[in-house]
Amino acid sequence: MPEPSPNTSDQAVIFDLDGTLVDTLPDLHVALNRVLEEEGLETLDPAETRLMIGGGARNLIELAFIKREITGEEARINAGFDLFLDYYGAEPTTHSRPYPGVLEALDSLSKFGTALGVCTNKPQDMSEQVLNGLQIAHYFGDAVIGGDTLATRKPDASHLLAVIEKTGRSPNKTIMVGDSETDVGAARNAGFPVIAVDFGYTALTPEELKADIIISHFDELLPALTSLGFNVQ
């Protein structure tokens, strides 16, 4: 594991992507409904799509098909997944935007020397497209690992630990920030604290997530990190 330089912090903050850093729902929703239309199925409204995000793109297709009572048709699901990759890959950031306060928080943490990473169940290529398209990829360098890159993915701890390894920091100096039970589970399995946002893509209430701290805006992130023992201010 590479050592941090003398002018950097030994801390790391690892973020989920969809529903945490970026509101990707609008573009995911458009692509998903195009798949359903292609399949001759009734489209979903944004509130329905919102609760299906977090398990990766193929899981999103599976859940949408289940919602339309299509189960056990692997070939059809695979075809829908391929269509989704085409539709979403062509326009992943047309309507998606970082949540309010995200850019300011990332900038502050970076200037302090805190290493930043992204651990997401979104496919790697799509994740990089979103980060590059919204011009925030430079905050994370190569410490971005999607759900199709390893043999495991969140909530498996190994997915999260692999991101930390890329930051050059250690797990005992790391905090996770996410929006779902998958994120909280990954942090718990890896043995370190987790902050949850209350505006993400989960059916659970913020309290049900059982994160260490819940925030409602990224303006609250640095104080939350400080309260968990991080030196970021």
Site of tokens 């969140």: 154
Beta strand pairing call for 12-15 and 174-178: parallel
Q: What angle do CA 96, 160, 114 make, to 5 degrees?
A: 75
CB 213 within 8 A of CB 228: yes
If the chain, 233 residues long, is cut into consecutive pieces of 10 residues, what is the mean pLDDT of each piece?
A: 56 97 97 96 96 90 93 89 95 97 97 96 95 98 97 97 97 96 96 96 90 98 97 79
Q: What is the pLDDT of residue 176?
A: 98
Strands 194-197 and 22-23: unpaired
Distance of CA 72 to the CA centre of its chain: 28
Give the pLDDT confidence score for residue 72 in this predicted structure: 79
Peptide bond between residue 155 and the one before it cis (omega within 30 degrees of 0): yes
Task: Please state which of the four CATH numbers 2.10.260.10, 3.50.50.60, 3.40.50.1000, 3.40.50.1100 is assigned to the domain occupying 12-23+97-227.
Answer: 3.40.50.1000
16 is catalytic: yes
- Residue 123 burial class via C-beta count within 10 angstroms: exposed 0-12, middle 13-18, buried 19 and up: buried
Residue of 10, 16, 86, 212 marked catalytic: 16
**Domain 25-90 part of CATH 3.40.50.620:** no
Tokens of 70: 């299509």
Contact 201, 190 (CB under 8 A): no
Taking the C-alpha atoms of residue 115 and residue 130, their distance in angstroms, rounded to an integer, is 20
Per-residue CA distances from 195 to 106, 168, 211, 225 (Å): 15, 21, 6, 8
| Amino acid 31: pLDDT | 97
- The ranges assigned to domains in the chain are 12-23+97-227, 25-90
Distances in whole angstroms, Cα of residue 166 to Cα of each of 94, 102, 175, 178: 29, 22, 15, 19
Q: What share of the chain is helix, strand, coil (3-state, %, to 5)?
A: 45, 10, 40
Type of residue found at 93: T
- pLDDT given for residue 233 in this prediction: 65
